[in-house]
Structure 1
Amino acid sequence: MARSTLADYNRKRDFKRTAEPAGKVEKGAGRRFIVQKHDATRLHYDFRLEMDGVLKSWAVTRGPSLNPEDKRLAVRTEDHPVSYAEFEGSIPKGEYGGGTVMLWDKGTWAPIAGKSERDLDEGHLHFTLDGERMKGEWLLVRMKPRPGERHENWLLRKIDDEAAGGSDDLVSRALTSVKTGRTMAEIAADKQGEASLKGKRGKAFDAIMAKADDHVRAKAKPRARIGKLPEFRKPQLATLVDHVPAGSQWIHEIKFDGYRALIAAAGDKVKIYTRTGLDWTDKFRPVADAIAALDLPPALIDGEIVSLDAGGNPSFSALQKAIKGDGGAFELFAFDLLSLNGKDLTKLGNVERKAKLAGLLTGDHPTIHYADHVVGAGEKLFAAMCEAGQEGIISKKADAAYRGERTTGWVKVKCTRRQEFVIIGWSSSDKSGRRFRALLLAQHKDGKLVYAGKVGTGFNQDSMEMLSEEFATRSRETPAADVPRAERRGAHWVKPDLVAEIAFAEFTHDDVLRHASFLGLRSDKEAAEVKREETVPVEDVEEAEPVTISNRDRVIFPEAKATKGDLADYYQAIGPLILPWLARRPVSLVRCPQGRAKHCFFQKHDSGSFGEAVHHIPVREKNGDTEDYLYVEDVVGILSCVQMGTIEFHVWGSLVADIEKPERIIFDLDPDVGLDFNDVKKAAKDIRAMLADIGLVSFPMLSGGKGIHVIVPLTPQAEWPLVKDFTHRFAEALAQAEPDRFVANMAKAKRVGRIFIDYLRNQRGATAVTPYSARARENAPVAVPISWDELDGFDRASAFTIRDGAQLMKRASSKALKGWGIADQALPDL
């Protein structure tokens, strides 16, 4: 490799004016890597690898991407000193690289096995990163130079592995320093006075950065992350049914073959509980450590802890080996969120809770996984699970609340019959080396143990030795259940406190097991709770058509020839998508009883005509009077509104449970008639960048009309006046900065040739169209969430219609939209 030099670095800098460290080649062979977000002439990300005593450096113009399909341009720059790895602050304007520098990521790197850092001279480097944000395998490849090109252009690309993800996952979500916790705006303004870098050099500079590391990070953490561990609560249990329930009101998940766990987390404090409330944190220490590393706000997560077999499938036997310390790793598949930041979420519907869970567990982690689901395609998932030799699936009503008991809101369908049984004894074996012939089993019925047969297969030497050791301390003279005389011969009785999981073909007419096989002990379950699981016919849990839609053939979108029935079918199909944004929020309706081309009107107060599925909440209005506002909780409520001629749903930015504290901001970009949609897209991206600079993550939505909504999720802390004031000042600042492009005044005369930044939707009583709501416009368009990566690919805000329900369902489960609209963030102090 060419000899490292810092001559270019030193020549370009006046160290009397900049706080950057002077260059000196280090001795040793460290393997640090850093990424610095650098807002100079143009915002970019400086990617640096420690090699030969310096930091080899590239300027990545759009920042690194977790998407393996993205090849990001990385322009080779001068080597930097290793001491630059700690630099964060402002470089004076007029100096080389003048602007704000954030330490955006740091960690270690290494060439992959069989490769060398010397490959860099050949124009390629295949390596792994272990940073706080960038992980897994990456590739740097030098491009063939064009004639006259002065710089080396390289491509930085993520290799497809467990750490891969969507294009937006890094730069749009990670907005603060890994060293000080500050945003770019805070660094530029040096908001933390005790961390002033002005005039600091050498050791003085290092001391200030150390102080920032200790104090500023703590100050910059959101208040919502401070809290105590949530307490254990009883988990919801599923009812066994004979077939997969049909309909889009059900979501379907894999039934993982492991141990149910409730995880209480708050920062680095974690407790893992079994379904009965036992503290098993020490047994599942790797999972607890992985959760602690995520630094979550106070949360209570429901999930399943599993171990994978050689084929990558959850295996109960592999899990038991891992618990005993005989090898294997634990993994958590999280499927529900019961509380967050001290707020009880159990009254929300399944899809609402899962949307918040997906936003909480962003990114990829080798130990912690978000358990995804499918909607309305349960039979396909069930067939795939059975073909793969898995246990089955869990089906859940999309709009059902969480209840700490067994309900028909959650049902399970199994590929093979398996249940828990209490071991009450064992029979002697006449075979050499075999500890016993069979186990004698029972289940509780009407308050007492009832004999259920024997199991004599499924054991290996390890499991037989383990069971024999358990039996040695549990001997008793008589059986704990009434056992037939013929089965008593050669039997030895044990205390009935061991629970075994058994697979079997069926129960005989005598209620004993046939073709039983031992799967393992269930030390997470209490023997007193073990009773026969009776299969319920799926017809008993499926619901009939919830609302009768009259005049289904009435055409309400004449251009699209779409009927009232088509609209009802659309809302029925996408119910699980719209409910997280519509349910339990004050809602105003756009009603068009005779169709969108005829008389339509806006309704926000309850007239008592919608039926029991549409609820009301008393709300104090500006004049001091109280009026009943509408809200819905489920698909039945949505369809009840459609039956009454509703096309559009517009919601407040807050929940009925906490109506004075909004949980989102919306900037509605409304273009003047003569503007192109490209102007709106550019405006949305510019607003996104400005929000990112003050530490706020945002998400785009096609409005279904002319514009784009830029949506900023909030942890509900600030009340409406503060939120309105913030959005007003933000919009006015933008309009003053670029008066030729933007206006913050809603008067039509002021909008000519410009985009109106509608911030007025962020005040008490104002509403905005709900994601996935149909619009009462030509061709039946729909308001649709998209990712920032997708934005450039759309040429209009009405790209989707009510005919696209199936496509929208498929899109919603894509990586690009995972966690859309969810972020734990508060208004910055500006």
Structure 2
Amino acid sequence: MTPGEELAEYLGARPGGLDGTKLVPMLCEREEAGSKVLGREGWLFELKLDGVRIIADKKGDRVTLSYRKRRDATDSYAEIADAVRTLADTRLVLDGEIVAFDEQGRPDFQRLGHRIQAGLGKRGGRAPASVPVVYVVFDVLAIGPYDVRAFPIEARKEILTRVIPAEGVAGGLVRRHPTFDDGAQLFRLCREHRLEGVVAKKLGSSYRAGERSLDWLKIKAELDAEFVVIGWTEGESDRARLGALDLGAYEGDRLVFRGRVGSGLDASTIDMLLERLLPIEVDKPVAEGKYSPKPKRHHCLPELVVSVRYGGFSVDPSGARFLRFPVFRGVRPDVSPKDCTAAPDDGVALVTSTNDEQDGEERTAPAAKATSAPSSVAGDRPARARRIHVTAPSSVLLHDGTTKDVLCTYFEAVAPALLRHARERVCSLLRPAGAALWPPPKWTPKFVRTTNIRAGKREERGFVVDSLDVLLFAVEAGCPSIQHGPFVEDRPDVADFVAVRVSVARDRAEKSEVAAAARSVRALAAEIGLPSAPVSAGASAVDVVVGVGAAPAQAAAPLGALLAQLAMNAGVASHVKLEAVSSVTTPFAPCPARAGEPVVVAIPLDWDELDRVELASIGLAAAVARAPGAARSDSLDAVRDARVDVAAATKALERGVAARAT
């Protein structure tokens, strides 16, 4: 008898013939209920895994893996079945998730999606192990002759420690999921590291197969849900065959249109989707609701389920509600279409999809109020149409798959925060790789102003970004990024900041090294009375923006170079690069990035969060979350309002350089 069987027998387990291949797992209740228990006693907490739920049934040397809906998954994850077979117990039923991890060790469902696609494409036999996966086990339901589902969760967890050792088995292919006592602290960690969320499990609770119970509660740090595909639209250029998927969800027996998703679809995913969608294409819509008007729309039977990350729901002037900032994550063969029930009434705030002409202000309201009175969401400002017609909205503008339409919606959400930094500046509109748009296109609308000023010996030319419509013009012109220098339009001989960029190659990037170098620049600036603030500038780069008041442009110019030189001499790691830069990415605009690099948004940071934040994770969704507060104030306010004697500060730095040289 194995140690696990001995403990089950000692605790009074009863014999029972549990068949794991016919078992539907226990499910969590909605996350809005779960947030109340994070700080309470009487619960244990686990990281919510961003993977595929799997029941493993082991009978001697025979191992069967089953999805949530009891469909066989053994051949799709054959190496996991082989690893479970090595466990000492001859009879087991385990519950857990199969997970793929990214380079930082975080669960990555999009990466797992490639493995799922490989499994869907096979015709019998084992699926190729193209993406490494791990089976993370959090419950044991049967061991030896005993059915232990009636045991309290603490007892089942203790039995599990005797089944799977702390180091796992088969080189870590099968691991035991750890538990935590402090749910609030665990949830904060999820926020900081962009993990999916927390699962709270009530102490003393039994395992209730097939039920969604309040004894298990999920609290998500990011919004994601499953939707059923109800059609697709054709796109432009390389997305001509499939530009976006139409998505639906069930309200009781009614299937309702919820929006479209185009971001996150690459060529291989489109091939896989069309292979599955074309055979189920039909002539007429299968869902209720107001579809967004799109030419070349195809409809299909509601059979294919996909996972989508999103930023809430939008309400248009007619009251129709659609997903905001949706990103495709993968196909969910383990989820039934009828289980797709995501709705704006699930405690998620609704946001108007149109904005005030001058400041693009975003209005929010509780979902229940917006459902009954959509006009209240927009406040007392009349909704208006965009002044820019965005052509080919499904065409990809950022190399991560972000489309023009998604980027327009993003700018509508963050416009108040972005415009407070861009107004009156001379801005450059940049294409994805960083090339500036100049001269303006012939079709440039009259409301888009350009300017040409002389700052000292330099000529500055660019655009005046003073409204949401100019941001939408930038998208239509193929320019997702915006940069500005330290000059304003009506004071070309005055600079109000200098900037030092701290960067390191991503393959050698250490968060602590970037933060330490940035703090060296901050300390030097503070010595001579200059305020500073860090701004994300890429996946492994930070701009330290230093306030110089209203300094003559020629006097301010050398200051950034002196700060960079002194910081380099202060013991910064040799592979960390510091350089003075003449312009910075405008806060809340995406930073220029090469193919293969994460799309990072420039965000003003606080110094105390610089050690914690993952720069590569500051994408569009993270920026939207920060935008409401940043529309009023952020860490750059002190830099912008600085009152300093820049000539005296420069001389002090020059003396510092000379002193260190001797």
Query: TM-score, structure 2 length as denominator?
Result: 0.45
Higher-Rg member (1/2): 1
Kindly indicate which of the two structures has a greater share of residues assigned to helix: 2
Instruction: Output the TM-score relative to the length of structure 1.
Output: 0.36
